[in-house]
Structure 1
Amino acid sequence: MSLKSAFAALLIFSTTHALAYPSVGDKVTWSGEVQRVDGTSYSIQITKEVIEHDKKDNKWKVKVDAIMGAEKTSDIFESNELYSPSQYKNLLAGCTSKGGTIEDLKLSIGTYKTCKLTTTSEDGTLVEKWWGDIPFGVISKTTKDSGQVAKQNPALKSILVGL
């Protein structure tokens, strides 16, 4: 098989396989910065990984590892439903009717067609999330205080779709 044919086969396989999420082995990492009230900042990295699926009960187990500055945490949670390509398709189709905007979000690992949704909490904190066609859905998230100063901005760093 020629190099060109092998590359084409790999491209077709990876595109087809990417649509198979959620599946065991899906792993997504976001990284960014958190700004403290005193003006200092620290790095943040969050990784979510699908580690198990009970088909009988349709329960998913997801491991979440977080590094925030010097603090490291790890947790496992169960869910009956995980984000899927059909949810992305529905979200994109209804994005503007939900008050969102469709945006191409360019990151170091690629450009993603997203639905940007913005919410404001009771304390005035503004949360912007860019939802895309990846496991767990969120491509990037920015949290701003009531004065619109960014407090947190983790963005997608890597994706591994289950094998």
Structure 2
Amino acid sequence: MEGGFMFTKSLLTAFTALFATTALAYPNVGDKVSWTGTMSTINGETNAVKITKEVIGHDEKKNIWKIKIEAVVGTDKTSETMEISDLYSPAKYKTLIADCEKNGGTLEKLSAPAGTYDTCKMSMTMADGTMVERWWGDIPFGVVSKNTRDSGKMPISKPDLNSIIAGL
């Protein structure tokens, strides 16, 4: 009886290790990430925001990824599908973290509803004065959080990572 228990325990440990490793192997078809937050309008209204990105296909021969992006702002919903050849990966994350400070970023530990992540915060100012801050982490699509402010420093949008579903 004890031998059967040990076999079951070993099998459970092996499956746990396999799935823990698989979850970090992205990009994969089925990877789905959602961010939720708020968006402020020029007249001071605040709306709920939910953005979802999902890998819905991959042409291995052409190395083209098919991505579905849905955005809900208040009661408005948009959806689009796009094809791209270069998706964020664990290798890109490692390079980004290694070169973060050299490239003007800041290494930060960031907590979001989906967990706590080691990130590289990168900021850029657009031509119109809008500042965009992104916290890049080790997740599909890379962005753990994003903060956009207009030139008057008023928050425009602040969606944080809400959930991750790893495709297998």
* Category of TM-score, reference length = shorter chain: over 0.9
TM-score under structure 2 normalisation?
A: 0.91
Gap regions ≥5 residues in structure 1: none
Report how far residue 12 of structure 1 moved.
1.8
Structure 1 stretches of 4+ with a deviation exceeding 2 A read: 1-11
Greater alpha carbon shift after TM alignment, 111-120 vs 142-151? 142-151
Partner of 2:35: 30
For these two proteins, the number of residue pairs brought into alignment is 163
TM-score under structure 1 normalisation?
A: 0.93
Give the whole-Å Cα distance in 1 for the aligned partners of 2:97 and 2:47.
33
| Structure 1 residues 7 and 33, CA gap change in structure 2 (3 angstroms) | farther
State percent identity of aligned pairs.
51
Report how far residue 147 of structure 1 moved.
2.0
Give the whole-Å Cα distance in 2 for the aligned partners of 1:135 and 1:70.
27
Match of 2:110 among 96, 105, 113: 105
Give the whole-Å Cα distance in 2 for the aligned partners of 1:59 and 1:126.
31
Partner of 1:136: 141
Partner of 2:162: 157
Gap regions ≥5 residues in structure 2: none
| Structure 1 residues 43 and 54, CA gap change in structure 2 (3 angstroms) | same
Give the whole-Å Cα distance in 2 for the aligned partners of 1:66 and 1:79.
19
Partner of 2:23: 18
CA RMSD of aligned residues (A): 1.7
Contact 2:109 2:118 in 1 (8 A): yes
Match of 1:146 among 128, 151, 158: 151
Contact 2:108 2:119 in 1 (8 A): yes
Alignment of 1:6-155 (within 5 A): 8-9=13-14, 11-155=16-160
Give the whole-Å Cα distance in 2 for the aligned partners of 1:41 and 1:72.
16
Give the whole-Å Cα distance in 2 for the aligned partners of 1:60 and 1:128.
26
